Amino acid sequence: SQTIHQWPATLVQPVGSPLSLECTVEGTSNPNLYWYRQAAGRGLQLLFYSVGIGQISSEVPQNLSASRPQDRQFILSSKKLLLSDSGFYLCAWSDSGVETQYFGPGTRLLVL
Amino acid sequence: KNQVEQSPQSLIILEGKNCTLQCNYTVSPFSNLRWYKQDTGRGPVSLTIMTFSENTKSNGRYTATLDADTKQSSLHITASQLSDSASYICVVIHSGGYNKLIFGAGTRLAVHP
């Protein structure tokens, strides 16, 4: 069966520090991968999606970047965090061409 | 503009009671609609999936309805349990290119004993 992992579960970082959140998927090959951010009281906002290694599409301009160094690994990064980067970050995967997305447990980021 | 609006924003019910959550959307073209359950601090988990040709779909005590003409959906929870306390998110799939999900802000349900 397929599983999706995210770490860390929670993170507290100072403004201006770098960020690296990791997401890995097991039990499937060539998945579509997604990064979402969920702000309190708001719907999930798609940040990045990837249909293959090295292929990243950005949905909204922001202080973040994403990379996919391996087929089942998706990394969300920032060189300098802003206060507005605080939120709940969710990674998701789907089979290529299939619309059902499966979400990871999420990372709660607090920027102080 | 493609949007999904949910109501109420929050709801408190007593254990054993029924409740109905509402979802209105303006997404077009529309592929299908899903309801997700999200426990606090966890990722969303899919409850139901309906295409535009389906009117109702059940998953245990959860029943979702869809009216594609009025662009409205509802999620009915029967005989609520304490474990039903969570956020319920309506998600509409925008069928344009890749599978773009449009998320509602969710309804936060609290079931009290």
Interface test with B, best of A38, A44, A48, A90 (most B CBs within 10 A): A44
CA-nearest of B52, B46, B35 to A94 is B46
pLDDT on residue A40: 76
Amino acid at B44: P
Number of alpha carbons in the 13 Å side-chain half-sphere of residue B58: 4
Q: What is the DSSP letter of A29?
A: S
pLDDT digits (tens, 9 = 90+) for B49-82: 888 888 999 999 999 999 989 999 999 999 999 9
Which of A19-23, B39-43, B89-93 is modeled with the greatest confidence? A19-23
Whether the pLDDT of residue B96 is over 70: the answer is no
Whether the pLDDT of residue A35 is over 80: the answer is yes
Cα nearest neighbour of B108 on chain A: A41
Q: What is the mean pLDDT of chain A?
A: 91
CA-nearest of B1, B19, B2 to B92 is B2
CA dihedral A108, B86, B107, B35 (to 10 degrees): 100
A56 touches chain B (CB under 8 A): no
Q: Which helix (H) or strand (E) holds A111?
A: strand A107-111
* Contact call for residues A93 and A103 (beta carbons, < 8 A): no
Q: What is the DSSP letter of B82?
A: G
Q: Do B101 and A44 touch (CB under 8 A)?
A: yes
pLDDT on residue A61: 67
Give how far B103 is from chain A: nearest CA, Å: 5
**Nearest Cβ partner of B93 from A41, A92, A99?**
A99
Query: What proportions of chain B, in percent to the nearest 5, are helix, strand and coil?
Result: 5, 65, 35
| Residue B30: both structure tokens together | 């529309």
pLDDT band for position B89 (cuts 50, 70, 90): very high
pLDDT digits (tens, 9 = 90+) for B17-55: 999 999 999 988 877 899 999 998 889 999 988 888 889
Q: What is the DSSP letter of B104?
A: -
* Burial class of residue B31 in the structure, from the number of CB atoms within 10 Å of its CB (0-12 exposed, 13-18 middle, 19+ buried): middle
Whether the pLDDT of residue B97 is over 70: the answer is no
pLDDT on residue B27: 83
CA–CA distance, B20 with B109 (Å, rounded to integer): 10
Whether the pLDDT of residue A33 is over 90: the answer is yes
pLDDT digits (tens, 9 = 90+) for A59-94: 776 789 999 999 999 999 999 999 999 999 999 998
